[in-house]
Amino acid sequence: MDDEISSFINKAETKLKHSKLLFEVEGYADSVSLSYYCMFLCAKALLVKKNCNIPKTHRSLIKLFSLKYVHEDDFNYNTYNYLVSSQSERESADYGAKDNIDERIAKRRIDHAEEFLNETKKFL
């Protein structure tokens, strides 16, 4: 595996680990943010694998990932949607004065990030 790809995967695994630790101390909003970044970094790693130029924005990266891995390859569509749906929660958690992120949402996002990471590893 290429050094840049493995670095992105290692970073994604660390984000997931920290997401779980924050969940344990009821840091639900930050946990959701790190779960999102786990998936985002996995998507970045796979785009590097296909020698894609990495877009500057999150939305553009997600769109390119969809094109290269969901439409042109066999990346699971439902798993891909975890990345899409968690983006707005991450924005709320990171930038909003208030958020509606509770234990249930944070746990679901941890599960989604784990599934996304596992799906990613099938393509490495």
Give the total number of structural domains in the chain: 1
Distance CA 42, CA 118 (A): 10
**CATH number, position 100:** 1.20.120.330
Length of the chain equals 124
Q: Could you say which residues of the chain have pLDDT below 70?
A: none
In this prediction, residue 98 carries a pLDDT of: 85
Q: Could you list the residue range(s) of the whole structural domain that residue 105 is in? A: 3-121
Torsions phi, psi for 52 (to 5 deg): -85, 150
